[in-house]
């Protein structure tokens, strides 16, 4: 049973445009959500997180939106840059304890110059 | 900041051979440590986590085991590898309750 779903395995976006990566979850107990970015042959790196008490968190070009009623979150990257090309993983937990993280399968973003 | 060291970066092993992957942590004391695996076309699957020396919790029953002989050392092992053990193995750690997980650069294991 996949509790965190990233239904788009890949996404291509022109440089300078907005990238929107989506994530859905089924476990209503999840209340802390994270996005990780992964380059080939490297470990994932933390990008941004959001707690369920918020519906938006922004960090520079990256914004995460949370819709608790729809059990949906999204990552917006504006403007997209070629260096953003990577695999993005959505993760969720019941509370902020890391060992509870459940990851999605990832979405491969390609930003075309 | 916290650094997670993993080696080797790539490994090719025959079926039935043993495995030992080592992970060490710098920059924090008493971290929670984790082993994840990313198999082809799948997300990151938590295999083991450890909250302290000698304390191991297994999330998925399998052919693998983990040990934590020292505070900053976490080892993933197998006595006999299976083809299905192929994948990308990631060690991760956190030092504080609210800190995000920090990952090492992983080991690409191919079992032939």
Mean pLDDT (chain B) is 89
Residue B62: its pLDDT value, please? 80
pLDDT-based confidence at residue B99 (cuts at 50, 70, 90)? low
Query: What gap in Å lies between CA B83 and CA B15, rounded to an integer?
Result: 6
pLDDT tens string for chain A (113 positions)?
Answer: 689 999 999 999 999 999 999 999 999 999 999 999 999 888 999 999 999 999 999 999 999 999 999 999 999 999 999 999 999 999 999 876 656 788 999 999 999 99
Residue B98 has pLDDT above 60, yes or no: no
The answer to whether B106 contacts A43, with C-beta atoms less than 8 Å apart, is yes
The residue of chain A nearest to residue B32, with distances taken between CA atoms, is: A99
Query: Is residue A5 within 8 Å of A23, Cβ to Cβ?
Result: yes
Query: Is residue B56 within 8 Å of B66, Cβ to Cβ?
Result: yes
Query: Is residue A13 within 8 Å of A110, Cβ to Cβ?
Result: yes
Partner A contacted by B43 (CB < 8 A): yes
Share of chain B above pLDDT 90, in %: 67
Partner A contacted by B1 (CB < 8 A): no
pLDDT tens track for B44-78: 889 999 999 999 998 876 889 999 999 999 999 99
Chain A residues in contact with B68 by the CB 8 A cut-off are none
Listed in sequence order, the residues at least 6 apart from B95 whose beta carbon sits closer than 8 Å to its beta carbon are: B2, B27, B28, B29, B30, B31, B32
Residue A56: strand pairing partners:
A65
Residue B96 has pLDDT above 60, yes or no: no
């Amino acid at each position: 049973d996949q509790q965190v779903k990233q239904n788009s395995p890949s996404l291509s976006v022109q440089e300078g445009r907005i990238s929107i990566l989506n994530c859905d979850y089924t476990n209503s107990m999840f209340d802390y959500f994270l996005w990780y970015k992964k380059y080939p042959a490297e470990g994932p790196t933390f990008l941004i997180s959001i707690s369920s008490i918020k519906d938006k968190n922004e960090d520079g070009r990256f914004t995460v939106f949370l819709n608790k009623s729809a059990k949906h979150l999204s990552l917006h990257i504006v403007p997209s840059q070629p260096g953003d090309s990577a695999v993005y993983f959505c993760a969720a937990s019941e509370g902020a304890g890391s060992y509870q993280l459940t990851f999605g399968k990832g979405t491969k973003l390609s930003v075309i110059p | 900041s916290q650094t997670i060291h993993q080696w080797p970066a790539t490994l090719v092993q025959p079926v039935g051979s043993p495995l030992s992957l080592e992970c060490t942590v710098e920059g924090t004391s008493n971290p929670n440590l984790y082993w994840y695996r990313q198999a082809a076309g799948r997300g990151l699957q938590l295999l083991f986590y450890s909250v302290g020396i000698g304390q191991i919790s297994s999330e998925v029953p399998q052919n693998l085991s983990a040990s934590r002989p020292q505070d900053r050392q976490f080892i993933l092992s197998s006595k006999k590898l299976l083809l299905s053990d192929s994948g990308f193995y990631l060690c991760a750690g956190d030092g504080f309750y609210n800190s995000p997980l920090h990952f090492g650069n992983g080991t690409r294991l191919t079992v032939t």
